[in-house]
Amino acid sequence: MTDRLLQGDTALVTGAASGIGRGIAVALAQEGARVVLSDSNAGDGRKVADQLTQDGHDVSFVAADLAAKNGPHDLLAEATKQLGTLSIMVHSASPPRREADHVLDVSEDTWDQMIAVNLRAGFVLGRETGRQMISQNIKGRMLIITSLHAYSPRNLPHYSAAKAGQTMTVKELAKALGPHGIRVNAIAPGAIPGGGFDAAGAGLARLTRCTSLRRLGTPEEVAGMAVALLCDRFSAYVTGTTVAVDGGIALHNWIEPVDL
């Protein structure tokens, strides 16, 4: 096929073993990009890459510990070695979390890991990918998966702080890299089962009621917006923004119990 939206692109996707990251990696490959998938979960990550390869897509997998100081640098070096150049970078990796954690429960180690994987790695990957794109005169695109937690205080203070920091990092990267033709955007998903979010239990019905569309979303629906933001056909003049893909849950107070 020659009409695929990302034909000829080369992409790195973190957090690609499950959930939203997996959905985005699959969608980019289906739209013609060569993709390096990365995750700390090597077993599941390789399964995703193997399936895509069997389906005829040009993909590979690289295990990475983005909480390690050199983790983002090592990952980018390996992805560049495999692909030659990068025209797309997607940062979706995030450590597992317990939805019940609040400010009195979160340990400093847990805080540090969440900030390192989400915020520090996102900044380093964005900065270093940007430097590489500039040196190679590539009009690249970047996407960071943030969260509605960036705007509403609730449980998960470490996660909310990391995602709020990512939101501003996107703006800073977009401002600095825009003159070089490089676009940087974010997606803030709503209730999307898979990966770090477990929708099972009594809270499922309430989350569904709090969503205007009265259902939870899917990784594939987030991936569709990711493709739109990463392709110039639909988003050539879009940078520095965050798009909510949430079924309208942000229109309601999903933090406190409600009777709808």
Give the active site residues.
Answer: 159
Side by side, the strands of the sheet bearing 34-39 are 59-63, 34-39, 10-14, 88-91, 141-145, 183-189, 242-245
11 touches 28 (CB < 8 A): yes
Separation of CA 203 from chain center: 24
Nearest alpha-carbon partner for 241 in 147, 149, 167, 157:
167
Gap between the Cα atoms of 162 and 111, Å rounded: 9
- The C-alpha R_g of the chain, in whole angstroms, comes to 18
Q: In whole angstroms, what is the distance from residue 214 CA to residue 204 CA? A: 11
